[in-house]
């Protein structure tokens, strides 16, 4: 993998996560890039998505613990939004999701613990994004792997952030109407469409969107058999953590689709081919209709 280093300077990065298994792989790739001095990972911000924000933080700690070769200071973790901007219905305790209730498929135990809680900052993720961008104007790349609630809130609370972020990479949305949470909706954008509207309408910097259908294209096809029986046979702390999780969550699949890891690869790799395409964008929020007073 050829990595971008801007003029010999390490790229400054914040990654916003809702850690399920694909977030975990993306985070591991970024940790490795930091170890190679290609990036400076300034923080991991947590948002509700695949699971609660508290579970996201716990899963992030497990991933950091599994990265056994880590030779530099681990990035701080910031807890962020615990719900989408507009909550239409309370979550149900028995609601079944691809990543389980805890984001890591609800295993009875994990090979890595989440005890290094001193990495969890008391600073809120939204405030942390503003502070880091303010301290490094025009230098911070933001990688968004979950719903855009943290960034949407940050742009509303601190409008100056819109003009001071260097670039934003987003996994979310779709371009052919193929969904993964409904027949036509992608999970991250579906979970907080109002924040998507804020982000796409407000940001002044370059934005790179990885839609759901792109991850399904033949060029990204990875057989699940390869994931489990080739990659999965490598013995280290990462596979000991991730194998049981993905065996369970991919039990009905034949293809491995680590969308967030694909976005991390896009960020870490030099773009060699560009094409100009004409496109439109439509944001559909939820509509609540109530009877008018007589």
Please report the DSSP string for 71-93 in residue order: -SPPPPEEE--SS-SS--SPPPT
What token pair was written down for 37? 């001095």
Asked whether residue 113 is domain-assigned, the answer is yes
pTM for this model (two decimals)? 0.90
In a domain? residue 278: no
Question: Does residue 285 lie within any of the structural domains?
Answer: no
**Residue 144 resides in a domain:** yes
Between 231 and 288, where is the model more confident?
231
pLDDT confidence of residue 71: 65
Residue 207 Cα distances to 141, 169, 199, angstroms: 10, 6, 10
Contacts of 51 (CB under 8 A, 6+ apart): 18, 19, 20, 59, 97, 99, 100, 101, 102, 103
Does residue 163 sit within a domain? yes
Query: What is the Cα–Cα distance from 215 to 59, expressed in whole angstroms?
Result: 24
Domains held by the chain: number: 1
Q: Could you tell me how far CA 109 lies from the centroid of its own chain?
A: 24
pLDDT tops 80 at residue 89: no
- What pLDDT score was predicted for residue 5? 52
Residue 230 lies in a domain: yes
pLDDT, position 13 = 98
- Mean pLDDT value across the chain: 88
Q: Give domain status of residue 85, yes or no.
A: yes
Distance of alpha carbon 177 from its chain centroid, rounded?
Answer: 21
Q: Is the pLDDT of residue 91 over 50?
A: yes
Q: What is the mean pLDDT of residues 62-90?
A: 86
Average pLDDT over residues 52-71: 89
Quote the CA–CA distance of 164 and 151 in Å, as a whole number: 13
Check residue 8 and give left, alpha or beta (phi > 0: left; psi -120 to 50: alpha): left
pLDDT surpasses 70 at 152: yes
Asked whether residue 280 is domain-assigned, the answer is no
- The whole domain housing 35 covers 11-268
- pLDDT > 90? residue 145: yes
Taking residues 152-166, report their average pLDDT: 98
Average pLDDT of the segment spanning 130-158: 98
What is the domain-level CATH number for residue 132? 3.90.245.10
Q: What is the DSSP letter of 215?
A: G
């Amino acid at each position: 993998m050829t990595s971008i280093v801007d003029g010999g300077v390490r790229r400054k990065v914040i990654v916003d996560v809702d850690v399920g298994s694909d977030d975990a792989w993306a985070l591991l790739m970024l940790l490795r890039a930091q170890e190679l001095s290609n990036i400076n990972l300034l923080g991991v911000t947590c948002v509700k998505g695949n699971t609660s924000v508290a579970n996201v933080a716990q899963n992030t700690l497990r991933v950091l613990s599994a990265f056994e070769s880590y030779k530099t200071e681990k990035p701080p973790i910031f807890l962020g939004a615990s719900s989408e901007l507009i909550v239409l219905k309370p979550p149900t305790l028995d609601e079944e999701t691809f990543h389980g209730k805890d984001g890591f498929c609800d295993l009875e135990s994990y090979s890595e613990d989440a005890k290094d809680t001193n990495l969890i900052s008391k600073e809120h993720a939204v405030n942390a994004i503003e502070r880091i961008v303010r301290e490094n104007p025009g230098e911070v790349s933001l990688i968004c792997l979950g719903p855009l609630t943290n960034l949407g809130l940050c742009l509303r609370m601190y409008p100056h952030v819109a003009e001071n972020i260097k670039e934003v990479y987003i996994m979310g949305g779709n371009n052919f109407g193929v969904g993964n949470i409904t027949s036509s909706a992608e999970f991250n954008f579906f979970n907080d469409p109002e924040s998507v509207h804020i982000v796409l309408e407000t940001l002044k910097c370059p934005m790179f969107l990885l839609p759901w259908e792109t991850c399904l294209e033949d060029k990204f096809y990875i057989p699940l058999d390869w994931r489990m029986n080739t990659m999965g046979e490598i013995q280290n702390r990462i596979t000991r953590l991730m194998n049981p999780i993905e065996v369970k969550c991919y039990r009905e699949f034949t293809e491995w689709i680590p969308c967030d890891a694909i976005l991390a690869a896009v960020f870490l790799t030099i773009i060699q081919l560009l094409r100009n395409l004409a496109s439109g964008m439509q944001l559909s929020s939820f509509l609540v209709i109530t009877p008018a007073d007589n």
